[in-house]
Structure 1
Amino acid sequence: MPARELQEQLNTLREQLEQNPPLNDDERANLHDLMNQIEAQIQLESATNDASLADGVNLAVERFEVEHPGLAGTLRNIVQTLGGMGI
């Protein structure tokens, strides 16, 4: 089930953030906002094709790819799962 997989990936991202990677306040706030959006999508369990959510996660991948490859990898997995859900 894609929603369960997405929730697991979101939990992984939370765990990574709890390890306090060197992020500035804006970066941390951006990731928390994306996580809240993903959580809301999971709760709705709708396939409404919310492309803006996937776009936001893709932008976060690009932003963190060089300095925080672990976060970027988890975010990439989230993008793939969203795509599998039709989002």
Structure 2
Amino acid sequence: MPAQQLKNQLEDLQRLLAETDQPLSPQERQSLQQLHDRIEARLLATQGESNPEDANLVDSVNLSIEHFYARHPTVAGTLQRVVQALSDMGI
């Protein structure tokens, strides 16, 4: 179930990236896309096994939340749900 929650949050993040009414700069879009791709790759990797990159991944998401919190609260909220889903998966 946690993996499905993460998939749902990644889909929400992808939808936000696709929306043209989100006032994201090209750099912000690229940063979010790269973060999305890293999380998706981790999800596709062997699930349930600890990975040394996991802490780095969670840190990256948390830094993105801080960055987007004031200007893009919807994006920050989606990223917070991503962190929660990662935590639920033991990452």
Query: Normalising to structure 1: TM-score of the pair?
Result: 0.93
Report the aligned-residue RMSD. 1.1
Tell me how far apart the structure 1 counterparts of residues 19 and 26 of structure 2 sit (CA, whole Å). 15
Q: How does 1:22-41 map to 2 (within 5 A)?
A: 22-41=23-42
Query: What number of residue pairs does the alignment pair up?
Result: 87
Aligned to 2:50: 48
Say if 2:78 is the partner of 1:74: yes
- Unpaired runs of 5+ in structure 2? none
SS of equivalent residue, structure 2 residue 23: coil
Runs of 4+ residues over 2 Å off in structure 1: none
Deviation at 1:47, TM superposition (A): 3.2
**Any conservation in 1 of the 2:6–2:86 contact (CA below 8 Å)?**
yes
**Any conservation in 2 of the 1:47–1:85 contact (CA below 8 Å)?**
no
Deviation at 1:46, TM superposition (A): 3.8
- Unpaired runs of 5+ in structure 1? none
Deviation at 1:85, TM superposition (A): 1.1
**Any conservation in 1 of the 2:17–2:33 contact (CA below 8 Å)?**
no
CA deviation profile, 1:22-43 (whole Å, cap 9, x unmatched): 1112111110110000100110
SS of equivalent residue, structure 2 residue 7: helix
Tell me how far apart the structure 1 counterparts of residues 16 and 10 of structure 2 sit (CA, whole Å). 10
Q: Which amino acid is 1:31 matched to?
A: L
